[in-house]
Amino acid sequence: MIKKTPPPRREWLRTTLNAAVMAAAFGGLALSASTAAAQAAYPAKPIRLVVPFATGGVTDTSGRLIAEQLSKRLGQQVIVDNKPGASGSIGTQMVAAAAPDGYTLLLGFDGTLVIYPHSAPKVGFDTVKDFAPIGKIGDAILILVSHPGVPAKSLQQVIALSKTQPGGLSYGSSGTGGTPHIAGELLKQRTGANLTHIPYKGGGQAMIDLLGGNIPLVYTAVAGAISHVKSGKLHAVAVSSAQRAPSLPDVPTFIESGVADFDINSWVGLLAPAKTPQAIVDKLNTELNAVLNDPAVRERLNTLGITASPGGPERFGRDMARDLSRYAAVVKAAGIKAE
């Protein structure tokens, strides 16, 4: 009987290790293939787009337009879900805590993401760590509008009128710490205007009170006021961009109205929860940019006072980090405290 000689221990160990490595490699490839296949099938069901403000404001208006167009391109319905409150932080926190699977997205607003964190004692989210930027939708020009009954039409007349009011001339905005609020505080600091801020839960509610004559002024995005300005129901005092708004070419800028270097806009963008797979982020960015490069969509955004800003996730992330830093000093100087 021939007795087999066992392989040397070193040879046996090498063979065993090679087998283990090969098994792990094939297992990893299978897992990667499975993950890639799952992501390639995205989206396989409707997507929820959380808008952290009430209906009628710039975030809601632009969000519904983008949701409509993305639904067509993705082959799944993108459903707008309004979750207003606390300067947009309630809806924003919901997305930060959502599963990072691409089925819950945020229509991000600069007031909530880069201003609110400096004014609130407890924010509930980290702008940099809790979100994966997908892309900026656009920059929204801000406008100061008044009720036709206000006996002041130009910006200088509004400033002069405010100084005759013991309690100040009230102006509404979409909420404490939002970009319109910041713009109003800067106007006070630059001109000595006697203005009193009245926060609302969204620009739409502020506009309702202004149209009803319950408040004399509202600082908002052009998107929320343009139809009322064009119909004559509201008077446009000035826009706060460096150049006049293409949709309202007859309305002067704050700079033209005598306030030097007054250039402050708002923006909206699309974000997902942190740790959302990069493949999903990239797909959403590609489709978002395709939507924003559509001439018909760009025209609709322009009509709303929003300039489309297609770009990559990295660029949007850098812009967010920059604004988060630069607004810190403004909030501190104005003593803004979120409610």
Q: Token match 């002024």: residue?
A: 217
Write out pLDDT tens, residues 67-123: 999 999 999 999 999 999 887 899 999 999 999 999 999 999 898 999 989 988 889
Distance CA 62, CA 252 (A): 24
Q: Is the pLDDT of residue 321 over 60?
A: yes
Say what the pLDDT of residue 269 is.
96
Helices (H), 41-76: 58-74
Distance CA 26, CA 37 (A): 16
Asked whether the beta carbons of 324 and 142 are under 8 A apart, the reply is no
pLDDT band at 1 (very low <50, low <70, confident <90, very high): very low
Distance CA 169, CA 162 (A): 5
Identical fold for domains 47-139+266-334 and 142-239, yes or no, is yes
Q: Is the pLDDT of residue 281 over 80?
A: yes
Instruction: Give the pTM.
Output: 0.71
Lowest-pLDDT choice from 20-34, 138-152, 189-203: 20-34
What lies within 8 Å, CB to CB, of 57 at 6+ separation is 174, 202, 203, 204, 220, 221, 223, 224
Range among 38-47, 136-145, 261-270, 301-310 with highest mean pLDDT value: 136-145
Q: Is the pLDDT of residue 242 over 80?
A: yes
Q: Is the pLDDT of residue 161 over 80?
A: yes
Distance CA 279, CA 271 (A): 14
Distance CA 219, CA 186 (A): 12
Helix, strand, or coil (residue 329)? helix
Q: Is the pLDDT of residue 179 over 90?
A: no
Superfamily of domain 142-239: Periplasmic binding protein-like II (3.40.190.10)
Distance CA 270, CA 152 (A): 38
Return the amino acid letter for 53. F
Return the amino acid letter for 99. A
If one compares 13 and 148, the residue with the highest pLDDT of the two is 148
Other Cβ atoms less than 10 A from the Cβ of 4: the count is: 5
Say what the pLDDT of residue 67 is.
98
Long-range contacts, 69-76 (Cβ 8 Å, 24+): 69/291, 69/294, 69/297, 70/284, 70/287, 70/288, 70/291, 73/287, 73/290, 73/291, 74/43, 74/47, 74/287, 75/43, 76/43, 76/44, 76/45, 76/46, 76/47
Asked whether the beta carbons of 23 and 58 are under 8 A apart, the reply is no
Please give the CATH number for the structural domain made up of 47-139+266-334. Answer: 3.40.190.150
Largest Cα–Cα separation, the chain: 117
Domain segments of the chain as ranges? 47-139+266-334, 142-239
Asked whether the beta carbons of 217 and 170 are under 8 A apart, the reply is yes
Distance CA 327, CA 282 (A): 29
If one compares 9 and 304, the residue with the highest pLDDT of the two is 304
**Structure tokens given for 259:** 């306030």
